[in-house]
């Protein structure tokens, strides 16, 4: 996943997802390998609902991917892993995507 093919709105979603210490720590924890939500929450010292929200935002930005599995003892476990993205951020790159940025009057269409 290279960054050149991102629209302004997508890049904005990525930066917004990255603009939070919890989410950066989550992404760092998932850099090596995948992990399931409850354990990850314990490792990072945050509540499950909170981690759930942050994972949603990271997933919406395409930075992590989750898949629901069935463990051997029958429990539903959801594993998340970091997407192997590589972003190059420079003033010129930002200028290039600037025309595709959402205007001040635009509404959210993520529904």
Partner DNA sequence: GACACGTGTAAGAATTTACTGACACGTGAG
Partner DNA sequence: CTCACGTGTCAGTAAATTCTTACACGTGTC
- Summarize as ranges the residues that interact with DNA (CB under 7 A): 16, 19-20, 22, 36-39, 46-50, 52-54, 57, 66, 68, 73-78, 104, 108
Q: Which residues pair with 35 in a beta bridge?
A: 80
CA-to-CA distance for 3 and 54, rounded, in angstroms? 22
**Phi, psi torsion values for 110, nearest 5 degrees:** -80, 5
To its own copies, the closest distance from the beta carbon of 87 in angstroms equals: 4
Pick the closest to residue 18 from 82, 79, 68 (CA basis). 82
Cα dist. 43→35, 40, 46, 91 in Å? Answer: 10, 5, 8, 36
Q: Which residue among 2, 70, 92, 111 contacts its own copies (CB under 8 A)? A: 92
Pick the closest to residue 27 from 56, 52, 77, 64 (CA basis). 64
DSSP assigned state of 98: G
1 binds, among DNA, its own copies, none (CB under 5 to 8 A by kind): none
Positions in 23-82 near its own copies (CB under 8 A): 24-25, 27-32, 45-46, 63, 82
State yes or no: residue 8 binds its own copies (CB under 8 A): yes
Residues touching its own copies: how many (CB under 8 A)? 41
Site of interaction with its own copies (CB under 8 A): 8, 11-12, 15-16, 18-22, 24-25, 27-32, 45-46, 63, 82-92, 94-98, 101-104
């Amino acid at each position: 996943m290279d960054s050149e093919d991102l629209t302004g709105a997508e890049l904005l979603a990525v930066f917004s997802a990255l603009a939070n210490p919890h989410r950066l720590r989550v992404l760092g924890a998932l850099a090596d390998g995948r992990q399931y939500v409850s354990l990850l929450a314990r490792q990072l010292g945050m509540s499950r609902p909170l981690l759930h929200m942050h994972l949603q935002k990271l997933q919406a930005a395409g930075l992590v991917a989750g898949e629901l599995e069935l463990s051997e003892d029958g429990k539903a476990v959801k594993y998340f892993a970091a997407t192997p993205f590589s972003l190059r951020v420079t003033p010129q790159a930002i200028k290039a995507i600037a025309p595709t940025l959402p205007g001040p009057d635009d509404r959210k269409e993520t529904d």
